[in-house]
Structure 1
Amino acid sequence: MHRFKDLEIWKKSRLFCTSIYEITSKFPDSEKFGLTNQLRRASVSIPSNIAEGSSRSSNKDFSRFLQITLGSAYEIETQLLIAFDLKFINNQELNDLLKELESIIKMTSKFKSTLN
């Protein structure tokens, strides 16, 4: 069992979630139940799955939750690109968020590989 609060990927993904909430608060009201909701749910899923997986008794189970985490990260990447296409975020915001997300993906993948 891992202490999720000590994991850098959990800390970083929690901060990323805050960034997503901040950026989506600027989206049009018409997106409240669309892209805003999707991005927020997927961003909450990342630290939540890391936390839940860390409570599992085996590395195999934890690895499965990290795989779900990666799926959420790629979902967010797609949604951010769509938000950019729709001009809800600018190029700088997109690049900053994708850079943060890429770091989380790399850290998660590397950590996952140590569990196998």
Structure 2
Amino acid sequence: MHRFKDLEIWKKSRFFCSEIYAITADFPDSEKFGITNQLRRASVSIPSNIAEGSSRNSNKDFSRFLEIAIGSAYEIETQLLISSDLGFLKDDKLKALSIQLEEIIKMTSKFRSTLKI
């Protein structure tokens, strides 16, 4: 069993989640139940799945939860691009968030590959 609070991927994804909440606070009110909600839920999913997976008794189970976290990250990437297309997100913020997200994806994938299944 892994201590999720010690995992760098969990720490980075938790910080990233806070970033998503901050940027979506400026999205139009009409998007409260649309893309704002989708982005927030997907961003919460990343550290949540890392934490839940770490409690599992097998690396195979943990690996599956990491796979779900990575899927949520790709979902966020798409939603950020759509947010940019709709004019809700400036290019510089999109770039900064995309860099953070890419780092989370790479780190999670690499960590997943080290698990002995």
TM-score, normalised on structure 2?
Answer: 0.98
**Off by >6 Å, runs of 4+ in structure 1:** none
Match of 1:7 in 2: 7
Matches within 5 A, 1:1-116: 1-115=1-115, 116=117
How many residue pairs end up in the alignment?
A: 116
User: Which consecutive unaligned segments of at least 5 residues does structure 2 have?
Assistant: none
- Using the TM superposition, give the Cα deviation of residue 71 of structure 1 relative to its aligned residue in structure 2, in angstroms: 0.4
Q: In 1, Cα distance between the equivalents of 2:106 and 2:26?
A: 28
Identical-residue share of aligned pairs (%) = 77
Q: For residues 33-74 of structure 1, what are the alpha-carbon distances to aligned partners after superposition, in whole Å with 9 as ceiling and x for unaligned?
A: 000000000000000000000000000000000000010000
Q: In 2, Cα distance between the equivalents of 1:94 and 1:3?
A: 31
Q: In 2, Cα distance between the equivalents of 1:70 and 1:5?
A: 18
Q: In 2, Cα distance between the equivalents of 1:43 and 1:70?
A: 11
What is the CA RMSD across the aligned residues, in angstroms? Answer: 0.4
